[in-house]
Amino acid sequence: MVAILLQTLPFFALIGLGYWAGRTGFFSEDATAYLTKFVFYFALSAMLFRFSASLDLAAVFDPVFVLAYFSGTLAIYLVVTAVAALRKRSLAEAAVEAQCGVIGNVGFLGVPMLALLLGEAAIAPIILVLSTDLIFFGSLIVILITGSRDGRMSLGIFRTVGAGLVKNPMIMSIGAGFIWSGFDLPIPQPVDDFLTILGAAATPGALFAIGASLASKSAERLSVAVWLSFSKLVLHPAAVAVSAVLIFDVAPYAAGVMIASAALPVAGNVFILAQHYGVAPQRVSAAILLSTVASVLTVTAVVAWVQTL
């Protein structure tokens, strides 16, 4: 475990550097927002397109893998929703808390870190996890919040969800990459070099942006934030492990990548959604902050364990 900790420390050190820059004012909130936009729309998109363009979708897509991850994730989603209901929270608040309990920072943290720790073969399973999060659970929170406000489900909700998916650069870059791969087209060398250079900025840029964005977050409502962090860092990977290993019998390596992906801290885009809809943004902020700090140890422990698989 010490060896894994030493490997993960540079990633968390970059997050810490970004936090220092944001906390001291060296990096303003506007600067962090623009860095995040650069990573999200350009660097990470280039990395994901290049990865997916080199994969065979027919060989990569594994319905059993997706079902195992979806089932384990849905179980914790329902648990966190039930706890919110017991606390008499609204449906919109319950949806946001459930999102905190299951949606990890796969795009910004998982792709670069797990690919290094678990090998490049981890990229395909990570992309399946990321796609499941974005398509299913990313759509579900919009449907629940919008439906709870309108008092009914309407076609307008699904238009909003569809537009959100189409505008998401991670979904579009993965989809475009698989289309490119499906036509069995080679990437011209100058284009591949361009994507490599641009994609290389994704890892340091994303990690620095995570840290800088954490500097503006507060640790209010600690009891709820501790519960949501526990759900994300402990319950979610545990449920996914049970689903993948004991129920669906996913291949050991793919199961390990799936479990490690589930162990990642709460994703920053949950805060963006919470802020956009005006639903418990401080609660989400605290959960992101606490889970990211705690993940230095929990992610290390989980990765060390899954390597035995």
Domains of the chain: 2-122+176-306 (1.20.1530)
What was the pLDDT predicted at 220? 59
Inform me whether the pLDDT recorded for 274 exceeds 60.
yes
| 11, 113 Cβ separation under 8 angstroms | yes
| 200, 99 Cβ separation under 8 angstroms | no
- Can you read off the two tokens belonging to residue 66? 């997706």
Average pLDDT for residues 157-171, to the nearest whole number?
72
Average pLDDT for residues 189-217, to the nearest whole number?
88
Share of residues in the chain with pLDDT > 90 (%): 44
pLDDT confidence tier of residue 301, bands split at 50, 70 and 90:
very high
pLDDT confidence tier of residue 108, bands split at 50, 70 and 90:
confident
Distance (Å, rounded) from C-alpha 279 to C-alpha 276?
8
pLDDT confidence tier of residue 252, bands split at 50, 70 and 90:
very high
Inform me whether the pLDDT recorded for 156 exceeds 70.
no
What was the pLDDT predicted at 235? 97
What was the pLDDT predicted at 80? 97
Inform me whether the pLDDT recorded for 152 exceeds 60.
no
What was the pLDDT predicted at 93? 92
What was the pLDDT predicted at 116? 83
What was the pLDDT predicted at 71? 97
104 forms beta bridges with 266
Alpha helices per DSSP H over the chain: 2-23, 29-38, 44-53, 57-60, 63-86, 91-102, 111-118, 123-132, 138-150, 155-167, 169-182, 189-200, 202-214, 222-230, 236-241, 252-262, 268-277, 281-306
- Can you read off the two tokens belonging to residue 14? 């970059």
Q: Which residue has the tokens 């289309």?
A: 179
Inform me whether the pLDDT recorded for 237 exceeds 80.
yes
Is residue 266 helix, strand or coil? strand
Distance (Å, rounded) from C-alpha 164 to C-alpha 64?
27
What was the pLDDT predicted at 31? 92
- Can you read off the two tokens belonging to residue 50? 């290049």
Model-level pTM? 0.86
Amino acid, single-letter form, for residue 289: L
What was the pLDDT predicted at 226? 93
